[in-house]
Structure 1
Amino acid sequence: MSHDVTSTIAANMRAIAEAQGAIFAAGTDYPAGTQVPPHSHDRHQLMHGLSGVLMVSTPAGHWIVPPEHALWIPAGCTHWVEMLGAVRMRSVYVRPGDIAAQDSPRVLGMTPLVRALLVEAVGMANRPEEAFRDRLVAELLLTEIPRLPEQPLALPLPVEPRLLRLCRAFIAAPDARASLDDWATRAGMSRRSLSRHFRTETGLSLDHWRQQACVFAALPRLIEGEKVTTVALDLGYDSPAAFTTMFRRMLGETPRAYARR
């Protein structure tokens, strides 16, 4: 990480810690591959990329944040960030107690209104003469953020050591051909016990979790321009069509359409 990026991250952290009022907004542009090391802050954060894709990780799981989405990060949550491509990040930091807050990270669908308010909020510190208007922007943000819809772009991790080991191995080398029987054997559980424990710990079925893990593995490669066929076969899908069907079900569009956008 370059000295300039490191200095920018440190300055942002200081500004967040020193912020007054219900909200504080900041914008930073990051080059591809930038990694923000593990940290937390005393405010809730709504993180949004005007362009580019973010991958945010916590000890409990991973979250992908494509354009048109945002990530809610509760105050005190340790997280680290990787930029999958160049990212124009805009974030608003909310003082606890000023908003009805979720207690775990969540990917949210952005609306044009919240996106516009966030961009406006970034410039508020430089417009002291517009204090009344800025208060209205802040109040509307606090009203609209809880209305953003949650999106299925989380990859939660189980706590149970056997399941966690299997999940980490799958993330390192995703393979859509892996069977439930294989996982059950490696975990030393019956199929039924594995399925029950996995859903209890992650909130997802094993099949759904593995599909999301494949999406997480595919997104950076698609963004870099790799062919859909290559990505699909590398992930263990029998054909590009099978991969495309899964991808469309998860993200609402085909891999080619997503990569173009």
Structure 2
Amino acid sequence: MKNVPLAEVDHLDRAVLPIGTDYPPGHLLDWHHHRRAQFLHGATGVMVVDTADGTWTVPPERAVLIPAGTRHRVHMLEVSTRSLYIEPDAVPWWPATCTVVDVPPLLRELLLAAVDFAPDYGLSGREGHIAALLLHEIAARTPLPYHLHMPPSEELAALCRSYLSGPDTRTSNATWAAATAMSERAFTRRFRAETGHSPAAWRARARLLAAVPLLRTATVTEVAVRLGYASPAAFTAAFTRAFGAPPSRFAGRHSPYARGCRPPEGRTAPE
């Protein structure tokens, strides 16, 4: 199924519903939730998934597992998705929070095949076996560190979301403490208690996550300068240490297996 709203097929007696959706550049899929669990994979582009608890950046060749009933929104940056909507009873092992995972070649090919299924695809033949194999492959994935936790308090969460919209190296612990009318020491203690990280460490990770979508259209050097790193080498070292891969792996590239599925201008279907 391609460009089909989930609501039109959610009632079907299929544990796995594969849907491919094309989005115009920069599309924001606003706050919503699904009755089913979702495996959200971008065949092209980069996605940023927000929930009340955190933010997950999904680079090319990755996907995010979204638990059933989780309220979320998705920023689509030149994205054509390959999603699976899955009955919760079929995946009791599904993570309790959003989780970014890798999508190796076999899983990619299974996803590409599955989105060509009819809504009422057969369960006993090839299509049913592919659907079952998809769940086995997803269960074998391990979490990747492309996320940031949000403080539970509205006051601190607002600071963090504002920073994510435009990371600025001039922002300091003192800046944030003043905004909350707290001493710097008290603010740092509270922030660490709510997130498990110091404010400075949280902002450093936020800058690295912000680099992932920037690398689609800018060079490593340009991104390093924009995010305030002393040099491209310093940026590369920090990025590689955080994510296990150099930024050059994501620079100026779309997924090589996308097969021409660039999002058509102005066309969209709800997730």
Mean Cα deviation higher: 137-146 or 148-157: 137-146
Q: Over the residues paired in the alignment, what is the CA RMSD in angstroms?
A: 2.7
Residue 101 of structure 2 contacts residue 143 of structure 2 at CA under 8 Å; is this kept in 1? Answer: yes
1:232 corresponds to which of 206, 224, 227: 224
Residue 220 of structure 2 contacts residue 251 of structure 2 at CA under 8 Å; is this kept in 1? Answer: no
Displacement of 1:237 = 2.1
Equivalent in the alignment of 1:173: 166
Instruction: Tell me how far apart the structure 2 counterparts of residues 260 and 227 of structure 1 sit (CA, whole Å).
Output: 7
Equivalent in the alignment of 1:219: 212
1:74 corresponds to which of 67, 72, 87: 67
Equivalent in the alignment of 1:47: 40
1:246 corresponds to which of 223, 231, 238: 238
1:56 matched to 2:43? The reply is no
Unaligned runs of 5+ in 1: 1-7
Unaligned runs of 5+ in 2: 254-271
The residue type paired with residue 235 of structure 1 is: L
Residue 177 of structure 1 contacts residue 236 of structure 1 at CA under 8 Å; is this kept in 2? Answer: no
What TM-score does the superposition give when structure 2 sets the normalisation length?
0.79
Report Cα offsets for 1:11-38 as digits up to 9, x if no partner: 4132342332211101122231122222
Instruction: Tell me how far apart the structure 2 counterparts of residues 128 and 73 of structure 1 sit (CA, whole Å).
Output: 24
SS in 1 for 2:118: helix
Report Cα offsets for 1:31-90 as digits up to 9, x if no partner: 311222222111000000122111112222221111111101111111121211x22210
Equivalent in the alignment of 2:248: 256
Mean Cα deviation higher: 58-67 or 157-166: 157-166
Equivalent in the alignment of 2:257: none
Displacement of 1:190 = 5.7
Greater percentage in helix: 1
How many residues of Structure 1 are paired with residues of Structure 2 in the alignment?
250
- Cα 1:128–1:77, aligned 2, differ >3 Å: closer, same or farther? closer
Alignment of 1:1-261 (within 5 A): 11-84=4-77, 86-99=78-91, 100-125=93-118, 128=121, 131-176=124-169, 178-180=171-173, 183=176, 187=180, 188=182, 191=185, 194=187, 197-224=190-217, 226-261=218-253
- The sequence identity of aligned pairs, in percent, is 40
Residue 49 of structure 1 contacts residue 67 of structure 1 at CA under 8 Å; is this kept in 2? Answer: yes
Displacement of 1:102 = 1.2
What TM-score does the superposition give when structure 1 sets the normalisation length?
0.82
Report Cα offsets for 1:146-191 as digits up to 9, x if no partner: 2211011112211224422331332233234644565456552564
- Cα 1:126–1:24, aligned 2, differ >3 Å: closer, same or farther? closer
Say which structure, 1 or 2, has more relative contact order (CA 8 Å, 6+ apart): 2
